[in-house]
């Protein structure tokens, strides 16, 4: 479990996170939603150490990550998989080399062991045999799947995904969502997903955290989200759906 405890974060005068507390449980995909600029990505960056909170703590299964120095954080970092916006694959490397990258960085595995792991994760994301292709030869959805394969290559306990559906058509989006949810449940991963996408919310939102004005404004499941009387959340859900409908026309 990841526990976020009373996190505050400002950039100059701009107070972005104003006392956020939340729990992220193993085997559950927790979605972080909210309007543009509400602090979703900032929260995630504070959780993984890409930003340091001004105050508050992040605990990984009871281990106080925030108080650790860079060296002390290494064991936890090895347990974290990340899927960034736009997949962030290295274009000059084949699919296989992209996935091997964290294994080279963080493990002492033999070449054969690494190849076994690469083939295993490629198969898991339905890309068996695509080892020698370059990212430029893949569709957007395939790139995301390679990104997921790389994120799970290290067998992570914690998985962070920032807008995993950005730039994908609806069908590919659903595939990526389902893959993230399946992997989370299969390997009991503690997964946090930042998303704008109401389809994702309805599809995989077992647990949803809604940020508004720097605070955790609402928390619940996708079943509860449709019947909430929280005005700001209703505005967000309605605006997103309306936008989608308008964009499709
Ligand atoms: N490194 C930074 N330096 C200064 N300001 C920042 C930095 N990162 C984020 N901000 C500010 O913090 C606020 C929240 O940004 P953040 O990216 O967390 O929002 P978000 O909810 O993820 O938005 P979006 O949905 O548009 O991606 C914004 O006002 C942004 O300008």
Does ligand 1 have an atom closer than 6 angstroms to the CB of 40? Answer: yes
Helices 111-124 + 140-153 axis angle, to 10: 130
Rounded to the nearest angstrom, the distance between the alpha carbon of 14 and the centre of ligand 1 is 10
> What's the rounded Cα separation, in Å, for the pair 62 and 7?
16
When pLDDT is averaged across residues 52-68 and rounded to a whole number, the result is 97
Is 176 within 8 Å of 25 (Cβ atoms)? Answer: no
The reported pTM is: 0.89
Rounded to the nearest angstrom, the distance between the alpha carbon of 41 and the centre of ligand 1 is 7
Give Dmax over CA atoms of the chain in angstroms: 56
When pLDDT is averaged across residues 64-75 and rounded to a whole number, the result is 95
Most confident residue range from 11-20, 75-84, 100-109, 189-198: 11-20
Residue 165 has pLDDT above 70, yes or no: yes
Does ligand 1 have an atom closer than 6 angstroms to the CB of 34? Answer: yes
Rounded to the nearest angstrom, the distance between the alpha carbon of 11 and the centre of ligand 1 is 9
* pLDDT confidence of residue 241: 60
When pLDDT is averaged across residues 158-185 and rounded to a whole number, the result is 88
Lookup result for tokens 């198969």: 123
Does ligand 1 have an atom closer than 6 angstroms to the CB of 36? Answer: yes
* pLDDT confidence of residue 232: 87
- Residue of minimum CA distance from atom 16 in ligand 1: 39
DSSP 123: H
Rounded to the nearest angstrom, the distance between the alpha carbon of 38 and the centre of ligand 1 is 7
> What's the rounded Cα separation, in Å, for the pair 138 and 67?
41
* pLDDT confidence of residue 238: 76
Does ligand 1 have an atom closer than 6 angstroms to the CB of 38? Answer: yes
- Residue of minimum CA distance from atom 6 in ligand 1: 11
Q: What is the β-pairing status of strands 2-11 and 14-24?
A: antiparallel
Dihedral sign, Cα of residue 120, residue 123, residue 128, residue 132:
negative
Q: 34 — phi, psi (to 5°)?
A: 155, 165
* pLDDT confidence of residue 188: 96
Residues of the chain with CATH 3.40.50.300: 2-79+156-248
Is 179 within 8 Å of 144 (Cβ atoms)? Answer: no
- Ligand 1 pocket test, pick from 40, 45, 195, 236 with the greatest ligand atom count within 8 Å of Cβ, gives 40
* pLDDT confidence of residue 8: 97
Provide CB contacts within 8 A for 112, sequence distance 6+: none
* pLDDT confidence of residue 125: 86
Residue 138 has pLDDT above 70, yes or no: yes
Provide CB contacts within 8 A for 6, sequence distance 6+: 19, 20, 21, 55, 56, 57
Q: Return the H-helix or E-strand segment holding 105.
A: helix 95-106
Q: Return the H-helix or E-strand segment holding 52.
A: none
pLDDT digits (tens, 9 = 90+) for 211-235: 999 999 999 998 888 788 888 888 8
Rounded to the nearest angstrom, the distance between the alpha carbon of 213 and the centre of ligand 1 is 12
Does ligand 1 have an atom closer than 6 angstroms to the CB of 221? Answer: no
pLDDT digits (tens, 9 = 90+) for 11-32: 999 999 999 999 999 999 999 9
Helices 170-186 + 140-153 axis angle, to 10: 10
* pLDDT confidence of residue 249: 52
> What's the rounded Cα separation, in Å, for the pair 194 and 165?
10
> What's the rounded Cα separation, in Å, for the pair 23 and 21?
7
* pLDDT confidence of residue 211: 96
Does ligand 1 have an atom closer than 6 angstroms to the CB of 42? Answer: yes
- Ligand 1 pocket test, pick from 10, 20, 42 with the greatest ligand atom count within 8 Å of Cβ, gives 42
Ligand 1 atom having least distance to the Cα of 45: 18
Strands across the sheet containing 215-220: 80-83, 158-162, 190-194, 29-34, 207-212, 215-220
Range 2-79+156-248 classified under CATH 2.30.40.10: no
Mean pLDDT of the chain: 90
């Amino acid at each position: 479990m990841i526990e976020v405890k009373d996190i505050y974060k400002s950039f100059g005068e701009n107070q972005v996170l104003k006392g956020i507390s939340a729990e992220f449980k193993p085997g559950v995909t927790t979605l972080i939603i909210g309007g543009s600029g509400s602090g979703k990505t900032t929260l995630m960056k504070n959780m993984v150490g890409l930003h340091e909170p001004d105050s508050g703590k992040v605990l990984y299964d009871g281990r106080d990550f925030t108080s650790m120095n860079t060296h002390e954080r290494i064991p936890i970092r090895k347990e974290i998989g990340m899927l960034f916006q736009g997949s962030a694959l290295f274009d000059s490397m084949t699919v296989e080399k992209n996935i091997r990258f964290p294994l080279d960085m963080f493990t002492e595995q033999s070449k054969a062991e690494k190849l076994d792991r690469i083939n295993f994760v490629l198969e898991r994301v339905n890309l068996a045999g695509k080892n020698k292709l370059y990212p430029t030869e893949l569709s957007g959805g395939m790139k995301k799947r390679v990104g997921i394969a790389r994120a799970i290559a290290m067998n992570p306990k914690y998985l962070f995904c920032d807008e995993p559906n950005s730039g994908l058509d609806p069908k590919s989006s659903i595939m990526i969502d389902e893959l993230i949810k399946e992997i989370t449940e299969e390997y009991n991963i503690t997964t946090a997903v930042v998303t704008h996408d109401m389809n994702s919310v309805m599809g995989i939102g077992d647990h949803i955290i809604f940020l508004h004005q720097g605070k955790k404004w609402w928390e619940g499941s996708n079943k509860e989200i449709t019947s909430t009387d929280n005005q700001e959340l209703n505005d967000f859900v309605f605006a997103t759906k309306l936008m989608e409908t308008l964009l499709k026309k």
